[in-house]
């Protein structure tokens, strides 16, 4: 028994234990440093992705605002023409507003149909599908 206690005492006093402890501390510090670098790289990637999404949203909003103005300039004359035609025919105002020439009349019908029938119906279908998926 004293022999065994002597070996344990020599082991603790020889410095092997301190070398093992130093090695484990260094390894732990290296792991922590590597983990910190991994976290900073991941953080940089996430920040870059968020910045890219912000820029994409800005471009989308800018295009959307220009697109809406362009659509208004295209559709407004057709809407005005149809309203004047309806008012003239319903209330006999004597404006003598006629239908547009053949290709324009067809375009007018298609444009008004797409803006007031097809687009709202497509939006309703998208909403219904999103509700069904939930």
pLDDT tens for 89-108 read: 999 889 888 888 889 889 88
Percent of the chain with pLDDT over 70: 80
Report the alpha-carbon distance of residue 127 to residue 134 in Å, rounded: 11
- Domain range annotation of the chain: 2-74
User: Which ranges of the chain does DSSP label H, i.e. alpha helix?
Assistant: 2-13, 16-91, 102-113, 119-133
């Amino acid at each position: 028994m004293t022999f065994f206690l002597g070996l344990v005492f020599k082991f603790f006093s020889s410095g092997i234990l301190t070398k093992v402890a130093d090695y484990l501390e260094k390894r732990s510090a290296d792991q922590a440093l590597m983990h910190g670098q991994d976290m900073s790289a991941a953080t940089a990637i996430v920040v870059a992705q968020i910045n890219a999404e912000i820029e994409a949203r800005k471009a989308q909003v800018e295009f959307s605002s220009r697109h809406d103005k362009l659509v208004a300039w295209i559709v407004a004359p057709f809407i005005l023409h149809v309203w004047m035609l309806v008012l003239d025919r319903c209330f006999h105002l004597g404006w003598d507003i006629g239908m547009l020439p053949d290709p324009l009349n067809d375009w007018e019908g298609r444009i008004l149909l797409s803006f007031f029938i097809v687009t709202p119906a497509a939006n309703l279908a998208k909403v219904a599908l999103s509700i069904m998926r939930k």
